[in-house]
Structure 1
């Protein structure tokens, strides 16, 4: 494990790697407002040692130790977050990697495959939905978030200047995202959230992700994605109900779908063995031995 700060085109991004750089590379992309800590260390080690694979996680802008902007004035777009994934790969001398994205990170992964296809060996899309609007009736009828989820996000009250208030909010949000069908480990969630808040340059800056402009939409449809793709989705996901994952797998040619019974939104510890095994199997069928840049 080695944390490394990279700087490219004036952007400082904090990255961390696991495993041997000579092994097939896997880039992990986290979701909105979440630092790389949400790809938990135990998960990263399991993935790196199980392949073996060279696993990289990183802090998005405005999270963790990466560059931080004034809350409410980020000065960048969602498209820049897509480009940041390329910056991370370039800084590590990796021309192409297997890309694993969760939630909004899954949307970034889709856009990466559409706009920087040379960088993508395969895709694993977890707890996410189509990043490119579709024109089919099936896409228009995708189910909304659950009533419990909407009630929480519409009524929550958090003081972003107070760390304890933010921690309480993040733990409550994690409980809602878990979907309610499994026991919720509040102690573990609180420990992770506290580490995340204490580690951040400015934990209030993560709110910038909620108001980013998307940038120019991709010109190509999801059906143009040609790399092997696996969609992993919990059956109890309250943000993107299962139909979102099914529709995504239908739109990307030959994509596979792994439904996790009673799982919510995200990468739950209970599912680590299943998810890691699926990623290793999926990335083992790709061209993970592509030459690395010198």
Structure 2
């Protein structure tokens, strides 16, 4: 009798273990068909209005983009455009010469300091000499008065005008933009700036231009002489100043690409190791199969 009771209990235990568990699943979200008629109409109207507005905005954008009043700059083959290409630091140096001799007369670069040039385009001694050529207003001194001193490495590039109002007066109401981040602030980047700088045209009848100068209806021509002897052609000048402005807007350009190269090299080593661990270390767990025997 005891053996029969044990067998019955054991059979009942197997039966209890064999009973499939019923999981309570949350109710499904209400479908669109089950919504009231008013909500259906509202959602349909909202979808039509949204799609219509997006289509109208796209059409207006395409019409303006394709208009004859807008010219998009072409894509130029910049030497630093590659994923692993660095900036041409000799061109950065020449570009700074262009900015100093030409652009600084109207445009500021208030976010760039002299110390930023050290190790990029000039040596520390060269930058100190360049900074000392600038008279910086400092103070007050112990008597409470302002004074001028030679520039230092920590000083920022001087502004051509004391305030925006003076800049507008000197440029017939136009405010020359700051060039610190100009290539990032304009669609097309350095392509736009290069196209703008090389947009000079032939002088109109009655206007004579001396040799070495270029005619532009908005900007006067300039004579440049590079310190390294590079011919200062119009395209060379535009290329150098665009490279300088790209570096000014993105000083971490070369460092970012070096870090990316290191990341790629590290991933080339790490990814195969992770694949080996997944393929071999976890193969036992991934291939394990649990079988349930139905109750007899």
Q: TM-score normalised by the shorter chain: which range applies?
A: under 0.3
TM-score by length of 2: 0.21
- Which one has a larger percent strand, Structure 1 or Structure 2? 1
TM-score by length of 1: 0.21
**Structure possessing the higher radius of gyration over alpha carbons:** 2
- Which one has a larger percent helix, Structure 1 or Structure 2? 2
